Amino acid sequence: MPNKVNMADKTQNLLDVLKLQPVVPVLVVDDVNSAVLLARALVAGGLRAIEVTLRTPAGLDAIRAVADQVEGAVPGAGTVLDAAQYEQAVDAGSQFIVSPGTTLELLDYAKTSSVPMLPGAATASEVMALREEGYKVLKFFPAEQAGGASYLKSLSSPLADMMFCPTGGINLKNANDYLSLPNVVCVGGSWVAPKALVQAGDWDGITTLAKEAFELAN
């Protein structure tokens, strides 16, 4: 098994990515060609860190295309469920890995990779378990369904050294409810790339949404 990679360095690398902007776009990509144009539109609006989920067959190819063709983009892979997907996502050019939850297999593989993981957690026990593994930054998912901003705020006192990127049900109207919390570094959201605008090829419209998201208070 490869040597373990320094956890503190990976945490800092992850924070450097997440602090690029208040909102990380979460993309479900059906077409690789549109992924490049979409990513360029998001970067033009200030959203450089982009999570491309592996929910579609085009996911890995989209990450590879964004990594190769979109200047200024920092591509990451979302919905990573196992070690094989982790490895494939890194090979495709992912600079960060996002998972909706956590498994022992994922944790073991993450220890061998220099590419940081943002693991998902929804309860205090899950947060504590990941804290024991050395994680300081987690994805709070599904945010709205798991208790929303008020729930996450309640974790800030007993788990004061943990930071979160809430994702799930977040939009322009409620994003600042999360961004105003002391334990939130950024939020994840799909509203900056609505399917209708992508299908219409309205990249200027997406850039406008990205600019609005970039300007949110953090």
Per the residue annotation, which of 51, 105, 153, 215 is the catalytic one?
Answer: 51
Two tokens, residue 70: 């979109």
- Which of 19, 139, 195, 211 is flagged as catalytic? 139
Q: Which CATH superfamily is domain 7-210 in?
A: Aldolase class I (3.20.20.70)
Give me the chain's average pLDDT, please. 96
- Read off the pLDDT of residues 5-49 as tens digits, 9 standing for 90 and up: 799 999 999 999 999 999 999 999 999 999 999 999 999 999 999
Amino acid at site 109: Y
User: What is the SS3 string spanning 35-74?
Assistant: HHHHHHHHHHCCCCEEEEECCCCCHHHHHHHHHHHCCCCE
Q: How confident is the model at residue 144 (pLDDT cuts 50, 70, 90)?
A: very high
Helices (H), the chain: 7-18, 32-44, 59-69, 83-92, 104-110, 124-132, 148-155, 175-179, 195-200, 203-214
Return the biggest CA–CA distance within the chain.
47
Nearest partner of 86 among 127, 67, 62, 114, judged by Cα: 114
Best CA proximity match to 138, nearest among 160, 154, 114, 122: 122
- Domain map (residue ranges) of the chain: 7-210
Which residue from 40, 79, 84, 42 is spatially nearest to 59, judged by alpha carbons?
79
CA-CA distance, 198 to 196, in Å (whole number)? 5
The answer to whether residue 51 is catalytic is: yes
27 backbone dihedrals φ, ψ, rounded to 5°: -110, 135
> Does the pLDDT value for residue 3 go beyond 60?
no
Cβ contacts of 32 within 8 Å, gap of 6 or more:
58, 61, 62, 65
User: Which residue type is seen at 18?
Assistant: L
Does residue 185 contact residue 15 with C-beta atoms inside 8 Å?
yes
Does an H or E element contain 113, and which?
A: none
List, for residues 84-124, the tens digit of each pLDDT value. 999 999 999 999 999 999 999 999 999 999 999 999 999 99
pLDDT at 218: 53
Integer Cα distance of 158 and 161 in angstroms = 9
Give the percent of the chain with pLDDT over 70.
97
